[in-house]
Structure formats: C-alpha cells, structure tokens
Amino acid sequence: MNDRKQSEAVFVIFGSTGDLAKRKLFPSLYNLYLKGSLTEKFAVIGLGRREWDDEKLKTVVREAITEAGQQMDREEQIDSFLAHFSYLSFDVTNKHSYEELKEEMESKEERFHLSGNRVFYMAMAPEFFGQIAQSIHSHGLKETNGWTRLVIEKPFGTDLQTAKVLNNEIREAFAEDEIYRIDHYLGKEMVQNIQVIRFANAMFAPLWNNRHISNIQVTSSEKLGVEGRGGYYEKSGALRDMVQNHILQMVSLLAMDVPLQLTTDEIRSEKIKVLRALRLIDQQNVNDTVVRAQYDEGTINRTEVPGYIQEENVDPNSNTETYVAAKLMIDNHVWAGVPFYIRTGKRMAVKSTKVVVEFKEMPLNLYAKEHKATGPNLLIIHIQPDEGITIVLNGKKIGSADTTPVHLEYRHDSEDRINTPEAYERLLYDCIMGDATNFAHWDEVSLSWSLVDAISNAWKETDQKPLTYKAGTMGPKEADKLLAIDGHSWWPVEHM
C-alpha cells in the first residue's frame, strides 16, 4: 500500500485527558505532522470521562506541544494541526457512547476524505481494555473499508492468568496482527540499534556467543522514587513494572539468533525462542539467582528523601520490591554457561539504562602474564539518558610499557538527539505503517509472565521480606554477591 494512503487514519484515543496523552501522544503526533508522515488526511478523536469540548481538548494539545518545546513560532501549522482534533465525553460502559463515536468517526472520515483506517489507542486504566475492545467490535466500529488496529499500553495483565483473560477478551474482537502491545523501550534509538550492532558488523557477529562472551549486564536505574504513585506501585513492584516487559525485551534482543530475514515474524520468532530457553527460577534457586529490595531513607542530589514505606499510599508493612537484580541463564547452544545479569530499581545513584557486554579474556595473554594491567574488552550500549556505544580495548600507556583501558566512543551529538524521533513517535508511525516488529507478540508476553510469576511465587513460598538499600546507592550488597560467586562484578555504569 502507498505510504501516504497508509497514513490516512482516524486516531481514537481512549483516555485523552490523561498524562500519557499530553506528555507523549499529542507531541508525537504533532512531530509526525511536521515531518509530513501525517498528511492533512487524518483526524484525532479524544475520549474521556471529563465534560470537555473540542476547544478544551485543542487548548490542552496546544499546551502539550508548547511544553514539549515544539512550538518554535509555528502558530499557523499548530492551528492547522488542531483543526483535525475533536472531543467526546465518553462512558466506556454506555452503548450510546459507542454509537456517538461511530458517528463521529464517519463524520471525520467524510470531512477529511479518509479511506477508513482506524487506530484505537488505549491510554487509560487497563481494567477496561477487554470491555472496550469487545464493545468496539459489537457496536460496529471495526466495520470499515480500511484497516483497524488496537494499541494497548502496559501493564498487559498483572500475572499470566490475568494476561490470558485479557488476551482472550481482546482476541474475540481483534486478530493478533491487529493488536499492538506497546513497550516504549522498543522505540528507543539504541534499543533498536542492538540488532544493527549485532548483525551488521563483522567484528561482533561471529563473536556473539558463549565461546567469546563472558557475561552480559543490563542495568536500568532511576533516581526518582515512586513520586506519588505508591498505590499503583504497591500492586506492581519492580519485577512487574520493569522486568516483565522492558528488561526481558532487551534480553531477548541481545540473545536472539540471527533471523532469516529482517521481518516482523522472523524477528519475533527468534525472540520467542530466547524466552522459551530461559532457565526456570523456583523456590529452590530463587535466593541464589534473584535479589529483591526496597529503598530506605537516603540522599539524592544532596536532598534527604524518604524510604519507600514512608511514601504516600504505601503500606508501612509492604513487601513490595523497588529493586530487582537477577542472574538469568539461557539454556541453548549459543548461550549455555553465559549469565545475563539484570538489575533495575528506583532511588538509585544515577538515572541510566545501559548494556555491558563483557568479552572473555585471551587464553594466553602475554601482558597479563607479565603482570601488566589488562582488563576484558567491553561493548557498552548507552540507551538513556545519553545514547551511543563505547568499545573498551587494552592499549599502551604513552611513555610507558604498561597497558591501560582505551575507550572508543560514539555518542549522538546534540543535533542528532534533537532530531531523533521520540520513542512514542517512532512506534506510532510503525503502527500506522503496519510494522509490528517493535511491539510485543502474545507469545512474548505470556512467556515473560511465566518467568515473572515463577519468581513471585517463589518469593511467596520463601516468605522472606525484601532487603533494603540506601537511597542514592546502586542497590544492596547482596546484588554484588550475585555476581561475585561467578567471579564477576557489576561494571560501574555511573562512570561509563
């Protein structure tokens, strides 16, 4: 299909009065419009419980564009963009709301000469996802000459069982190839670059296996705490909030085998094979392979901050983890024996998402034998807040026979970063183009929940309270022991 024809669509945003729509969706749609990825043939229908009207929504969208720093004296373009927006006060349980929505979509398709393509975006409470999907189908909102797609935000369920129920409800209304389960990490520039680094470089592709790699470390740390979201976090915790989706998605990209082609189905197939090969974690080995902890009082940016159990809407006896570290093993011929160490947490020393690939040292290193300072070669993939790659080699110190680590770095310069599509912008464009490569397939979701549920159940059975770590540190010392037993240590991402 012609790209311009493909991009002609009505975007229906459930939850358009919420924070996600304002911070991410509206600015991303505007960027696509500025770049011409959205032509004049599109419409956005915002839905919400609030008694707004078209003008109120347009005011909020204008504010969102301005706050995102995208105005830049483009008043005429912004006005043109806003002309495509309308609002409906919406009750997801009321059939008349869906009838009004159908009329509004048909009206917009006629006004903007659209071909019937429709995107339904769930930017609201997940407990309504299944009901909305079925109501879209039962009230004829999918009856169109174009395509229909359903975009779903996380969390996709709270465990495997609830995820299965939700998936069954949605699949009664939408086919799997119409469902786009969004994980914004998969839209990040350097996450997408993992495949390019691996498969397009002769210096890495043949070395990407257990013969040459010692271990791989994935760190995603935040300096922020729960920031008033204690009620949500009590039901989630770091394991469900980060490991089930973002972290395991990165692990699957790092460990997947070379796909036959760079197509959605082939890439997804290889990622699914990795998730199937993850070694089971149960009550017998959970304490040896997983560390969970809560942040205690500490100092961030020279400011005293409370511990997790002192946060608003948090049970003072809570066992919810704000930090998880784990040793994951992938039992296949490529990765047997190579640990994948993961860690994620709140109120840590730095905000950083990085991948460190540590290569095995040479079996006969003459410089090491002569007691000179040598270390392993590293590939560091910087995902956020900075983006780029660093290769660490051994080199000779100037004026000395000793060796020293040499850092070969590539970081996107400031102009590149300004022009880099924000993750949501890229994923929205992929959705309207029908490219589901960077969205999670149901098999990926179910397999990741299987691992997470196994860990959660093991924690319940052992009945041990989480460890604590001081806010402003990189986690509890037990997480260091997790690597030390294998002769490894965490690479200090705050200094890389």
Pairing mode of beta strands 388-396, 213-221: unpaired
φ and ψ of 293, to 5 deg: -155, 165
Q: What residues contact residue 373 under an 8 Å CB cut-off, 6+ apart? A: 402, 403, 404
Cα 468 from Cα 313, distance rounded (Å) = 19
**Which one from 246, 382, 441, 488 is the annotated catalytic residue?**
246
Cα 279 from Cα 450, distance rounded (Å) = 11
| pLDDT at residue 1 tops 50 | no
Q: Give the end-to-end CA distance of the chain in Å, rounded to a whole number.
A: 45
- For the entire predicted model, the pTM comes to 0.94
| pLDDT at residue 390 tops 80 | yes
Q: Higher-confidence residue: 386 or 42?
A: 42
The predicted pLDDT at position 496 comes to 72
The predicted pLDDT at position 308 comes to 97
Cα 16 from Cα 24, distance rounded (Å) = 11
> Across residues 417-438, what is the average pLDDT?
86
The predicted pLDDT at position 72 comes to 57
What are the angstrom distances between the C-alpha of 162 and each of 127, 249, 450?
10, 20, 12
| pLDDT at residue 369 tops 70 | no
Contact 377, 343 (CB under 8 A): no
| pLDDT at residue 165 tops 90 | yes
Ranking 2-16, 118-132, 134-148, 316-330 by mean pLDDT, the lowest is 2-16
The DSSP bridge partners found for residue 213 are: 359
> Across residues 275-285, what is the average pLDDT?
95
How much of the chain exceeds pLDDT 70, in percent? Answer: 94
Residue ranges of alpha helices (H) inside 68-94 are 75-82
| 96: annotated active-site residue | no
Query: What confidence tier does 10 reach under pLDDT thresholds 50, 70, 90?
Result: very high
Q: Higher-confidence residue: 128 or 74?
A: 128
Could you report the per-residue pLDDT of 484-495, keeping only the tens digit for each?
A: 999 999 999 877
Query: What confidence tier does 155 reach under pLDDT thresholds 50, 70, 90?
Result: confident
> Across residues 444-462, what is the average pLDDT?
96
- Per the prediction, the chain carries an average pLDDT of 93
The predicted pLDDT at position 122 comes to 97
